[in-house]
Amino acid sequence: MCGIVAALAARNVQGILLEGLKRLEYRGYDSAGMAVLNAAGELARQRAKGKVAALEEKLEQGALTGRIGIAHTRWATHGKPSEVNAHPHLARERLAIVHNGIIENFEPLKRELEADGVVFESETDTEVVAHLIDRAFRHRDSANQDGGETGDLLAAVRATLDRIDGAYALAVMHADAPREIVGARKGSPLVVGVGIDENFLASDALALLQVTDRFIYLQEGDVVRLSDVNGIEIFAADGQPAERPVHTYEHGDSAASRGEYRHFMLKEIHEQPAVIAATLEGRLSGSHVLESSFGVGARALFDQVKQVHIVACGTSYHAGMVARYWLEKLAGLPTQVEVASEYRYREVVVPENTLFVTLSQSGETADTLAALRYAKSRADSLDEHGGQGYLGTLAICNVPGSSLTRESDLALMTQAGPEIGVASTKAFTTQLVALMLLTLSLRKTRGDERETALVQALRGLPAVLDSALAMDGPIAQLSEAFAEKHHALFLGRGTQFPIALEGALKLKEISYIHAEAYPAGELKHGPLALVDADMPVVAVAPNDELLEKLKSNLQEVRARGGELFVFADEGVALTAADNLRVLHVPPVDELLAPIVYTLPLQLLSYHVAVLKGTDVDQPRNLAKSVTVE
Ligand code: HGA
């Protein structure tokens, strides 16, 4: 995903910018670039397709020297990955801009600028913003000539922001405003790094930890000016000066460090509120999902979708199973979910207007990738059963630029950040959030009360997850009941059945306890025979429409002497008893409950594994990104 670094200092900034770009590499990108204002008052730029190392090589040939500069890693949305489309983009060689996000109305603005004589170098939406700001800067400049005032970059940026729709974080510098950088954010993150006699901007604090540990997290609609004269000035969306707190970064200087946590898995479980907020960032506008989140052409494609096929492996497959309930209930779309290793060897019949969706943390999962290629090949083979081939393909993935995203028509990136623990945690819950965004975007009725309520609930989700994490202590105690056991059973109904499956998978993966999950209604069709005092039974029981039925299933377990552990909404009337322990999970919109209920089950597996002394982060026989079949 795109990354921004900008620096205004009293020393040469090339090294700071380059190191910042390297620190953003984990997010994935396809090209990189940098521009600085040199001592002659000219903008000098280097860009390269591919890795930051390729840019570094160019900088070795032709160093950029200056005390003010901006840099970028690009993950293309508008225009192919290429040097000419890489940021920074320039206007008249006087203004330079880096931008994360999508300008939704760039086409009419581009036509307007072309009519005005502007010749565009790149295919990007970003270049439009460069020329708009430059034009506003010059007009202001000439209007003020008599008053002797020079161009006002801040005012020019503000005037331009009023004209653009979409999501952005940007940093701009102008050769005629030589000691200023202006930044702005709406829908994409931007932080100010506070230094000593030098200040910075970045899309992620991690990019600046080598120069500062003090950050201002800009708020939605904020515009910031860094300058020698006034330091850091922030203006809120209404244009008024705003005070924003300075935070000290407490987690140490490494994305790949466990920080205060004993294991990466625990750290990643605790990161979920933040990474879910990041996954929502830039994708919600008011009370609806921004269609541009899925890339150019998504709306036209989504409007034709009549059914959905989801293909994935392991934990991602469970996310797909939850999405089936959502897509059927909210969007009325028949949905099939299948593990990739089965799908790829099946004679798949594809009904007309089917959207093919793949889910993978790494985007390199071999079976999922093969399934995507197979799905695409089916487009050419209209079979004797009337299969039509897929309408389009969408990848939901955590690594931009990965094979899955490159080979799909559309991609929606989760923002889980690097996931080091082999057992997936935050990648799963961010996939669920992405799938809810997809479900809302596929509904034929948009902007109704249900969408408004769900968007509201999504915005509140990070706070609910924070409360769910507060269950850590009681769950650690509960885990003692599992440590000596050899088997466990997980039960759920509806959207919680896949969560029961995921809970069982986590326990298997890291504690090596054999665990099975069943839809609770299936209990008496077989697995009830296994239930005795040695078989702990975990049930996920939010307060939804299937609750009464689940309660009856739980009675069936208790009647056979089984030991029950129930994760339930506070409103669920279940009283703890001898063989029944109840843990309350914070309430949330029932459709989002699967996301919230995942956290206590992750914590349960984690604590059981710690008690058993297994290798939590690298369980035996398992690997992170499964790139072999
Ligand atoms: N739309 C811009 C920036 C893309 C971006 O933010 N990707 O994560 C471009 O295509 O260059």
Tokens of 600: 């206590």
Confidence class for position 143, pLDDT limits 50, 70, 90: very low
For ligand 1, is residue 74 a contact (CB within 6 Å)? Answer: yes
For ligand 1, is residue 73 a contact (CB within 6 Å)? Answer: no
Confidence class for position 348, pLDDT limits 50, 70, 90: confident
Instruction: Give the DSSP H or E segment for 553.
Output: helix 547-559
Ligand 1 atom closest to the Cα of residue 76 is: 10
Cα 46 to chain centroid, rounded: 29
Indicate the burial class of 449 (C-beta count within 10 angstroms; 0-12, 13-18, 19 or more).
exposed
Domain boundary, last residue among 255, 279, 302: 255
Instruction: Report pLDDT for 469.
Output: 97
Residue of 78, 98, 294, 398 best suited for mutating to test ligand 1, as the one with most atoms within 8 Å of CB: 78
SS3 sequence of 473-513? HHHHHHCHHHHCCCEEEEEECCCHHHHHHHHHHHHHHHHCC
**421 pLDDT more than 90:** no
Question: CATH no. for residue 127?
Answer: 3.60.20.10
Distance 358 CA to ligand 1 centre (A): 22
Higher pLDDT, 27 or 403: 403
Domain boundary, last residue among 210, 238, 255: 255
**150 pLDDT more than 60:** no
Q: Are residues 112 and 32 in the same domain?
A: yes
Average of pLDDT values for 232-236? 97
Q: Are residues 94 and 185 in the same domain?
A: yes
Nearest residue to 129 (alpha-carbon basis) of 76, 74, 84, 166: 166
Distance 76 CA to ligand 1 centre (A): 5
Q: Is 167 helix (H, G, I), strand (E, B) or coil?
A: strand
Q: Are residues 290 and 267 in the same domain?
A: yes
Predicted structure pTM score: 0.67
The domain of 598 spans 470-629
For ligand 1, is residue 131 a contact (CB within 6 Å)? Answer: no
Q: Are residues 228 and 275 in the same domain?
A: no
For ligand 1, is residue 28 a contact (CB within 6 Å)? Answer: no
Nearest residue to 199 (alpha-carbon basis) of 177, 230, 153, 235: 230
**382 pLDDT more than 80:** no
Residue of 124, 186, 290 best suited for mutating to test ligand 1, as the one with most atoms within 8 Å of CB: 124
For ligand 1, is residue 125 a contact (CB within 6 Å)? Answer: yes
Instruction: Report pLDDT for 144.
Output: 42
Cis preceding-peptide flag for 245 (omega within 30 of 0): no
Instruction: Report pLDDT for 149.
Output: 39
Confidence class for position 127, pLDDT limits 50, 70, 90: very high
Ligand 1 atom closest to the Cα of residue 75 is: 7
pLDDT digits (tens, 9 = 90+) for 599-625: 999 999 999 999 999 888 878 776 555
pLDDT digits (tens, 9 = 90+) for 56-65: 999 999 999 9
Instruction: Give the separation between CA 173 and CA 130, rounded to whole angstroms.
Output: 10
Distance 75 CA to ligand 1 centre (A): 6
Cβ proximity of 308 and 355 under 8 Å:
yes
Tokens of 584: 């309350």
Nearest residue to 497 (alpha-carbon basis) of 265, 319, 235, 271: 319
Cβ proximity of 237 and 244 under 8 Å:
no
Cβ proximity of 277 and 220 under 8 Å:
no
Instruction: Give the separation between CA 434 and CA 276, rounded to whole angstroms.
Output: 9
Average of pLDDT values for 458-480? 96
Angle at 535 (CA atoms; ends 534, 539), nearest 5 degrees = 145
Average of pLDDT values for 316-324? 98
Domain boundary, last residue among 228, 255, 282: 255
Distance 360 CA to ligand 1 centre (A): 22
Average of pLDDT values for 360-373? 88
Q: Are residues 457 and 361 in the same domain?
A: yes
Give the pairing type, strands 214-217 and 3-8. unpaired
**140 pLDDT more than 60:** no
Ligand 1 atom closest to the Cα of residue 2 is: 8
The one-letter amino acid code at 343 reads Y
Nearest residue to 133 (alpha-carbon basis) of 164, 100, 178, 165: 164
Confidence class for position 145, pLDDT limits 50, 70, 90: very low
Q: Are residues 120 and 213 in the same domain?
A: yes
**296 pLDDT more than 70:** yes
Higher pLDDT, 575 or 519: 519
pLDDT digits (tens, 9 = 90+) for 329-344: 999 999 999 999 999 8
Nearest residue to 412 (alpha-carbon basis) of 465, 357, 374, 373: 357
Instruction: Give the separation between CA 33 and CA 476, rounded to whole angstroms.
Output: 47
Q: Are residues 157 and 246 in the same domain?
A: yes
For ligand 1, is residue 30 a contact (CB within 6 Å)? Answer: no
Instruction: Report pLDDT for 628.
Output: 45
Distance 100 CA to ligand 1 centre (A): 5
The one-letter amino acid code at 131 reads H
Q: Give the number of other CB atoms < 10 A from CB of residue 508.
A: 17
Instruction: Report pLDDT for 223.
Output: 97
Ligand 1 atom closest to the Cα of residue 102 is: 1
Instruction: Report pLDDT for 29.
Output: 77
Average of pLDDT values for 97-121? 95
Nearest residue to 516 (alpha-carbon basis) of 533, 534, 495, 530: 530
**441 pLDDT more than 90:** yes
Distance 204 CA to ligand 1 centre (A): 16
**160 pLDDT more than 80:** yes
Mean pLDDT across the chain: 89
Q: Which of 23-27, 234-238, 352-356, 364-368 has the lowest mean pLDDT?
A: 23-27
For ligand 1, is residue 411 a contact (CB within 6 Å)? Answer: no
Cβ proximity of 311 and 426 under 8 Å:
no
Instruction: Give me the active site residues, please.
Output: 2, 624
Q: Are residues 249 and 275 in the same domain?
A: no
Ligand 1 atom closest to the Cα of residue 85 is: 11
**627 pLDDT more than 50:** no
Question: Positive or negative CA dihedral for 570, 573, 577, 581?
Answer: negative
Instruction: Report pLDDT for 255.
Output: 55
Question: Phi then psi for 475, rounded to 5 degrees?
Answer: -70, -35
For ligand 1, is residue 436 a contact (CB within 6 Å)? Answer: no
Ligand 1 atom closest to the Cα of residue 125 is: 1
Angstrom CA distances, 545 to 102, 495, 520, 550, 599, stand at 40, 11, 14, 10, 22
pLDDT digits (tens, 9 = 90+) for 476-501: 999 999 999 999 999 999 999 999 99
Q: Give the number of domains in the chain.
A: 3
Question: CATH no. for residue 629?
Answer: 3.40.50.10490
Q: Are residues 281 and 331 in the same domain?
A: yes
Q: Is 259 helix (H, G, I), strand (E, B) or coil?
A: coil
Instruction: Report pLDDT for 625.
Output: 52
Confidence class for position 293, pLDDT limits 50, 70, 90: confident
Counting residues of the chain whose pLDDT is more than 90, the rounded percentage is 65
Higher pLDDT, 402 or 425: 425
Confidence class for position 379, pLDDT limits 50, 70, 90: low
Ligand 1 atom closest to the Cα of residue 103 is: 1
- DSSP letter (8 states) at residue 534: T
For ligand 1, is residue 128 a contact (CB within 6 Å)? Answer: no
Q: Are residues 141 and 269 in the same domain?
A: no
Confidence class for position 282, pLDDT limits 50, 70, 90: confident
Average of pLDDT values for 263-282? 94
Cβ proximity of 98 and 71 under 8 Å:
yes
- DSSP letter (8 states) at residue 530: G
Q: Which residues contact 52 (CB under 8 A, 6 or more apart)?
A: 18, 21, 22, 25, 32, 73
Distance 410 CA to ligand 1 centre (A): 14
Q: Are residues 210 and 300 in the same domain?
A: no
Cα 236 to chain centroid, rounded: 25
Q: Which of 138-147, 240-249, 285-294, 499-508 has the lowest mean pLDDT?
A: 138-147
**385 pLDDT more than 60:** no
Angstrom CA distances, 506 to 57, 509, 531, 541, stand at 43, 5, 21, 19
Residue of 30, 73, 77, 294 best suited for mutating to test ligand 1, as the one with most atoms within 8 Å of CB: 77
Q: Is 582 helix (H, G, I), strand (E, B) or coil?
A: strand
Instruction: Report pLDDT for 344.
Output: 87
For ligand 1, is residue 99 a contact (CB within 6 Å)? Answer: yes
Q: Are residues 165 and 71 in the same domain?
A: yes
Instruction: Report pLDDT for 156.
Output: 96
Largest interatomic CA distance in the chain: 91
